[in-house]
Structures are given as C-alpha cells and as structure tokens.
C-alpha cells in the first residue's frame, strides 16, 4: 500500500466483493440444507456427515 497507494481503492473493492461472495455461499449452503431437510426429513446442519467427501463413482 505504501509503494502503490493508487491500488488501495481497488483492493478495498475486491475485499467487499469477496465478502459478498462469501455471504452468497453461506446462503446457498443454508438453502441446500433446507432442501435436504424438506426432501429427506434429515437435519444435516453442523453434521460431520456433510463434511465427508463423496464416495467415488464407478
């Protein structure tokens, strides 16, 4: 920042964009968890099962 002060505003804009993308991801996760609950009747929030990688196909 000290060497290139003209980049400060651009970096701040990128930080706000990344924060917004993170919020979108959080909302998408919440929607997916709600759909699993509505479809299967299973609560997957804060579950270790969700964190497991999917089994390989084939």
Q: Cα 15 to the chain's mean position, in Å?
A: 15
pLDDT digits (tens, 9 = 90+) for 25-55: 999 999 999 999 999 998 888 777 656 666 7
Residue 34 lies in a domain: yes
Confidence at residue 8, expressed as pLDDT on a 0 to 100 scale: 92
CA distance 20 to 25: 9
Residue 13 lies in a domain: no
Q: How far is CA 21 from CA 14, 15, 16, 26, 53, in A?
A: 10, 10, 9, 9, 23
Residue ranges making up the domain that contains 43: 22-51
Domains: count for the chain: 1
Residue 6 pLDDT exceeds 70: yes
CA distance 2 to 6: 9
- Cα 33–20–46 angle (5° rounding)? 25
């Amino acid at each position: 920042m000290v060497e290139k002060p003209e980049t400060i505003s651009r970096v701040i804009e990128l930080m706000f964009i990344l924060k917004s993308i993170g919020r979108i991801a959080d909302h998408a996760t919440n929607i997916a968890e709600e759909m699993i609950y509505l479809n299967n009747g299973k609560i997957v929030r804060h579950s270790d099962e969700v964190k497991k990688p999917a089994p390989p196909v084939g």
